[in-house]
Chain A
Amino acid sequence: MTMTHDEFKELVPIMALNALPAEEEEQVAAHVEFCVECSRLFGEYRSTAGDLAMAVRPVTPPADLKDRIMAQARQTAPVGTEASRSQQATPRRSGPTFARWMGVAAAAAVALVVIGFGAQQLMEQNQRVQQQEELLSAQREALDLIGSGETSVLTMNPTQDSDGVTGRVFVSSDSGRAAVLLSGLTEPSGDSIYTLWMIRDGNEEPVADFGPDRSGLAVLSVDDVKSDTTLAITLEPQPGNTSPQGPVLATAYKA
């Protein structure tokens, strides 16, 4: 069944309460991912739902829980820190690193506890929820880059060389400022680097060389995106190229 924007919007508060059945949540989450207004509303309602949780009386957790959490934290650096960047330096498609094995071990420990009641499904769902949250967070970051006002959304269309790279471009109708949100990126090997290009009037201008975060996401800003402009992502053999040499992975056209 196809829902309208207003119908989706009515379900956003229910999703913020985690009270939608799985199938419906999937549909609404897919809409929220692409809808600027519903994405903003979801963030606000989610925060209010978190406030609601403050009404529950605190209960002292077992003394060793903190030890377990701190021990796990010592094994895993937060995304964005120097330590995590060294973790990211390993290509995502290579063999498992120590940190990844630790992640597998931690997941296995959780699986042992919850085995017998759908452990695999639970982990898959948790992974899906985490990916969704990361994507929404990146989208908020993208929207913050262009500020408030009327926004149009373009799709980054993958080419045959995209290897899973997709994305969207949020363009402010007022300022012409745009934010590019890319997903499905992998850590380039060697000197290779992703590059965002702006193409108009037959000229190719490099906007930024960039790499993905650990979730394979990247958010970039571009100023002055006028009509009849193409944005393109390439994988360049080295940083600093002034004209594209690598394969084109995805493009978006602003009419």
Chain B
Amino acid sequence: MRTKTGKLKKRLEEPDDAGLLEGILNGDQACLSVFYDRYAGSAFGLAWKICNNRAIAEDVVQEAFMAVWQRPSSFDSSRGSAGSFLLGIVHHKAVDAIRKEESVRRREENFTSDLSDASGDEVVEAAWLALRRQSVLKALQQLSDVQREALELAYLHGLTYSEVAARLRIPLGTAKTRMRDGLIRLRGILDESAVNG
């Protein structure tokens, strides 16, 4: 680990995403290691949830961290947190993977909400990460039931809007509207909670 700059060392001692990405931009593998420790659980949980296949989920997470490592400059701090940036990459890669093979996913299983505290292996979650997860869950609770259901199906099950419409037996336009309005409303709530602390 580089210790030339006291600033960076301090950031590592007091974890800060921007500092970690700055380190990654400078090719500091120790920063990548800390970034991994911080978000690997969330990334693997998301990839596994979408892919329903442990091996593919591992590959997805590996590809996502390598994408951050190779192009950290793609991150724009004005558009969200480093964690959201990473998880966005994980999601895209996971959805790409499952759409190539029907058998690795649970398209036919009965839909139940995935946004609960009761699934997956136990993982020691940093307090701040748990708080952040709670704030997103709280924001989701402020959406209407149909918006939340559409978002969960699309995002956590990796369904296209036409698949969401088929699953819910609603018109295509209605599915698109629920997803779009849900995401826009979620953005507003999260922005507001960020402003209000």
Contacts and interface: CB of A to CB of B under 8 A. Distances in A.
Interface of A: 10-11, 13-14, 16-22, 43-62, 65-66, 68-70, 72-74, 76-84, 110, 113-114, 116-118, 121-122, 125-126, 129-130, 133-134, 137, 140
Contacts of B36: 66, 69-70
B20 interface: no
Contacts of B12: none
B45 interface: yes
21 contacts: A10-B180, A17-B154, A17-B183, A18-B155, A20-B160, A20-B161, A45-B184, A45-B187, A47-B81, A47-B84, A48-B186, A48-B190, A54-B42, A55-B136, A60-B122, A65-B62, A113-B55, A113-B59, A114-B97, A126-B93, A129-B92
Interface string B150-181: 01001110111110100000000000100110
Contacts of A62: 54, 58
A202 B63 CA distance: 51
Given A47-B80, A58-B41, A113-B59, 18 more contacts: A10-B176, A11-B176, A14-B179, A46-B79, A48-B186, A49-B88, A50-B80, A50-B86, A57-B45, A58-B45, A59-B123, A61-B44, A61-B58, A70-B33, A76-B66, A122-B96, A126-B93, A129-B93
Nearest to B95: A18
B52 to A, nearest CB: 12
Contact of A55 (B48, B122, B133): B133
B118 to A, nearest CB: 8
A44 B85 CA distance: 11
Given A14-B161, A53-B91, A78-B27, A134 B74 contact: yes
Interface centre among A22, A52, A54, A81 (most CB of B within 10 A): A52
A72 B71 contact: no
Judged by DSSP, the binding face of A is: helix
Interface centre among B73, B86, B132, B184 (most CB of A within 10 A): B73
A11 B119 CA distance: 32
B146 interface: no
B37 to A, nearest CB: 8
Contact of B87 (A50, A73, A110, A129): A50
A54 B132 contact: yes
Those 5 A-B pairs whose CB atoms lie nearest each other, nearest first: A47-B80, A50-B84, A58-B41, A117-B101, A53-B87
A177 B155 CA distance: 39
A56 B180 contact: no
A53 B92 contact: no
A17 to B, nearest CB: 5
B144 interface: no
B71 A79 contact: yes
A60 B123 CA distance: 5
